[in-house]
C-alpha cells in the first residue's frame, strides 16, 4: 500500500512524489523549484482507495500539473532569452552613446578653438 506524504511549508513537487513512487531518484524536473507552502499531497491509494478509475484521474491530474509547469518553464526560458537579447542591445546602445558623447566633446573643442582664433 502506498504511503501518505504530507508536506507543510516546504519545497515539494508531485514529480518528487512520482520519483519516490517509481523508484527513479536520478530524474530531475523543472517543477522541483515550485514552492507548495501548506500543501498536503496524498498518493492515489490514500485519496481514492484501490479504485482504478480514481487512480487514472489522479495520474491525469498529476500529469497535467507536470505539463503545465513544463510549459511555464519554457515560457520563462523564452522571456529570459528576450531579456538577454535586450541587455545586449542596451550594451550596444551604451557603446554608441559613448561614441556620440566623445564626438560631441571633440566638436565642442573644435568650436572652442574656432572661437578663440
Place of cell 500500500: 1
- Total structural domains in the chain? 1
Residue 70 lies in a domain: yes
Q: What residues make up the domain containing 75? A: 5-87
Residue 33 lies in a domain: yes
What CA–CA distance (Å, rounded) separates 93 from 98? 9
pLDDT tens string 87-109: 999 999 999 999 999 999 999 99
What CA–CA distance (Å, rounded) separates 45 from 55? 7
What's the rounded mean pLDDT across residues 72-98? 93
Residue 115 lies in a domain: no
Residue 110 lies in a domain: no
Residue 82 lies in a domain: yes
What CA–CA distance (Å, rounded) separates 13 from 29? 9
Residue 40 lies in a domain: yes
Residue 83 lies in a domain: yes
pTM score: 0.44
Residue 70: which pLDDT band, with cuts at 50, 70 and 90? confident
Amino acid at each position: 500500500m502506498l504511503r501518505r506524504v504530507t508536506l507543510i511549508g516546504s519545497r515539494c513537487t508531485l514529480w518528487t512524489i512520482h520519483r519516490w513512487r517509481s523508484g527513479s531518484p536520478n530524474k530531475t524536473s523543472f517543477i522541483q523549484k515550485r514552492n507548495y507552502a501548506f500543501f498536503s499531497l496524498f498518493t492515489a491509494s490514500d485519496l481514492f482507495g484501490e479504485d482504478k478509475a480514481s487512480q487514472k484521474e489522479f495520474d491525469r491530474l498529476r500529469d497535467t500539473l507536470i505539463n503545465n509547469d513544463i510549459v511555464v518553464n519554457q515560457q520563462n526560458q523564452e522571456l529570459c532569452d528576450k531579456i538577454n537579447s535586450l541587455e545586449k542591445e542596451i550594451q550596444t546602445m551604451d557603446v554608441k552613446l559613448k561614441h556620440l558623447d566623445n564626438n560631441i566633446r571633440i566638436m565642442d573643442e573644435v568650436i572652442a578653438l574656432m572661437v578663440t582664433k
